[in-house]
Amino acid sequence: MTEDWVHANFTDENERTDAQKAELALSDRLVDELIAADTLVIGTPIYNFSVPASLKAWIDMIARARKTFQYTANGPEGLLTGKKAYVLIASGGTEVGSDIDFASGYLRHILGFVGITDVTIVAADQQMMKGETALNEALADVAVS
Ligand SMILES: Cc1cc2nc3c(=O)[nH]c(=O)nc-3n(C[C@H](O)[C@H](O)[C@H](O)COP(=O)(O)O)c2cc1C
């Protein structure tokens, strides 16, 4: 994320310079990929109680004002409606859904923010404590989903 990126995004699409278009090219590609998808699958570990920086960087690329969300008189409105998301979360010790899990609630919120409200979270968590049980529980959850 750069100042030029932000400036390009706030410049009207028809008035963007070639440099500004290039600045937004990766974000455009990722947003188009998301628009074309019916189902989104995110597989992520918990890093330091939240999402890894690489996943956060992807979020920063797809949360695009006027493309994936917009602000209305009634507040923010997600534009990627009609999609289903599965979020598979692995952790060593942090219990998914606990007070110290800042990943699952955040992911549910940001997906809802861009309009994806049908979200199923599957936890393969606390692998250090549960060992193979964590995987078996996750597989059972996937079978139900
Ligand atoms: C930098 C780093 C930070 C981590 N932070 C946490 C954490 O806060 N809570 C947790 O339960 N596990 C944490 N883990 C463990 C991962 O969530 C765990 O290894 C997970 O299963 C990821 O699978 P992988 O290592 O096979 O990618 C961390 C791992 C790394 C490398």
Domain limits, the chain: 38-144
Q: Locate the ligand 1 atom nearest the alpha carbon of residue 127 and give its number.
A: 21
Ligand 1, CB within 6 Å, residue ranges = 45-49, 90-94, 127
Q: How far is the CA of 97 from the centre of ligand 1 (A)?
A: 16
Q: What is the pLDDT along the chain (145 residues), one digit of tens a residue?
A: 899 999 999 999 999 999 999 999 999 999 999 999 999 999 999 999 999 999 999 999 999 999 999 999 999 999 999 999 999 999 999 999 999 999 999 999 999 999 999 999 999 999 999 999 999 999 998 887 7
The residues, ordered by sequence, that sit 6+ positions from 121 with a Cβ below 8 Å of its Cβ are: 87, 88, 89, 96, 104, 107, 108
Please give the pLDDT value at position 143. Answer: 84
The CATH number assigned to the domain with range 38-144 reads: 3.40.50.360
20: how many CB neighbours lie within 10 A of its CB? 18
Q: How far is the CA of 136 from the centre of ligand 1 (A)?
A: 18
Block residue for tokens 């600045």? 23
Q: Is 116 exposed, middle or buried (0-12, 13-18, 19+ CB in 10 A)?
A: buried
What angle do helix axes 18-36 and 3-10 make, rounded to 10 degrees? Answer: 80
Q: How far is the CA of 37 from the centre of ligand 1 (A)?
A: 28
Q: What is this structure's pTM?
A: 0.94
Q: How far is the CA of 61 from the centre of ligand 1 (A)?
A: 23
